[in-house]
Amino acid sequence: MSALNTAVPQPNTPRKLEVKAHVSVPQTENSPARILLNEDAFVSMLYLERRRAERTQKRFVLVLMDISRVLVDGHKIRNVQKMAAGLSSATRETDIIGWYVENSLIGIIGTEVGEAPQKVIQERFISKLREVCELALGKEKAAAISVSFHFFPEEIGDADKDHSANIALYPEFARREERKRLSLTIKRAIDIFGSAAALFFFSPFFAAIAVAIKLTSKGPILFRQERLGQHGKKFTVLKFRSMRTDCDSKIHEAYVSQFIAGNADNAAAGSDTNKPVYKLQRDPRITDVGHFLRKTSLDELPQFWNVFVGDMSLVGPRPPVAYEYRAYNVWHRRRVLEIKPGITGLWQVEGRSRTRFDDMVRLDLKYARSWSIWLDLKILAQTPAAVLIGDGAH
């Protein structure tokens, strides 16, 4: 077998793949027959296994075998049957085998792989797969097969600089975008025209706010912060500066970590209510002008530029900073993965800052599941009232 690749080959453009019939594996002894699932079925099982892992906190590994180069001769069906039979005998009954990409990539979902180091798990799989491939195809053809490993949940350490999702674990994303291509094009058009109009309309406010910030505190007018966008990709978000320049983010980092875990102390946050709040109230780092900007959400106006250039959308989940993302539970991460972040969203118009974090995430995931142009327009129509009422804005 050739040296193992760690990257999954991805086509440049989405392809409509023909779905073949299931390939049955002969029944052995009293064990039920196993099948090589077709592409649709395997992707569905991968989705369900991710959900199961989120609940149980038991990780799994997705193994992808690129066999496209051994299916070019006239013995394709026989070779696939041999491979399927070999994989069935070499894997556990609880493991799942099927087409990740029809007639190209075979996927194996190794369920509940325990706490063994990734290197150990890879070596065990490689040993089994080499034996299966050489027995089924011979050493020459087996050498043309490449294998990659993708563990879920993805490990994220404090020192990690790249929080991008491993898209190989989420094949349904490309399918969803393909189905909603027209709607996404319309959404992007609304973002461009809406953000351009907002930048023009609010230009007098930009000038007035810039003067107020410069006259009342030292430092730049705009605050630039690295945030995580769709699929965990980093971008720089723009806001009007509402804090002093000599601030330490650790006070907010500590509070947000407690809030995400459900252990936030409202007294420590400066809240006079019994409801939990996402942002620190009476934050000593905020300037007098900054309090007004945050209360009225005027500090967010520069983000219309982020929308215009495509980093954000008018409607979507709020983009988190890296230390927030590292504090997430596994299922929380889906709010970053499934849709582009926005300036406003269901959280802002229904919960704002006075909602428990789990409920915030559920609102974001609800939006991602039920997203439509009409829902975006409805949220945009409700946003001005939510801003004017200012409940939960700090």
Nearest alpha-carbon partner for 59 in 121, 123, 9, 106: 121
This prediction has a pTM of: 0.80
CB 92 within 8 A of CB 113: no
Q: What is the rounded distance in angstroms from the CA atom of residue 87 to the CA atom of residue 132?
A: 7
Domains of the chain: 23-153 (3.30.70.270), 174-389 (no CATH)
pLDDT value of position 33: 61
Question: pLDDT 10s digit of each residue in the chain, 394 long?
Answer: 444 444 444 444 443 333 343 444 444 455 556 788 999 999 999 999 999 999 998 999 999 999 988 887 767 888 888 888 899 988 998 999 999 999 899 999 999 998 889 999 999 999 999 999 988 888 888 888 999 999 999 887 665 577 888 999 999 998 888 899 999 999 999 999 999 999 999 999 999 999 999 998 888 999 999 999 999 899 999 999 988 877 767 777 888 888 888 776 544 444 444 455 555 556 677 888 988 998 888 999 999 999 999 999 999 999 999 889 988 999 999 988 888 999 999 888 876 555 688 888 999 999 998 899 999 999 999 988 877 776 555 4
pLDDT value of position 379: 94
Contacts of 7 (CB under 8 A, 6+ apart): 148
**Greatest CA span in the chain, whole angstroms?**
83
pLDDT value of position 250: 77
pLDDT value of position 70: 83
Instruction: Spell 239-257 as b/e; 16+ CB within 10 A means b.
Output: bbbbbeeeeeeeebeebbe
Q: What is the rounded distance in angstroms from the CA atom of residue 254 to the CA atom of residue 75?
A: 61
> Amino acid identity of 32?
P
Rounded to 10 deg, the angle between the 118-137 and 76-90 helix axes is 140
pLDDT value of position 19: 35
pLDDT value of position 253: 81
Based on its alpha-carbon atoms, the radius of gyration of the chain, rounded to whole angstroms, reads 25
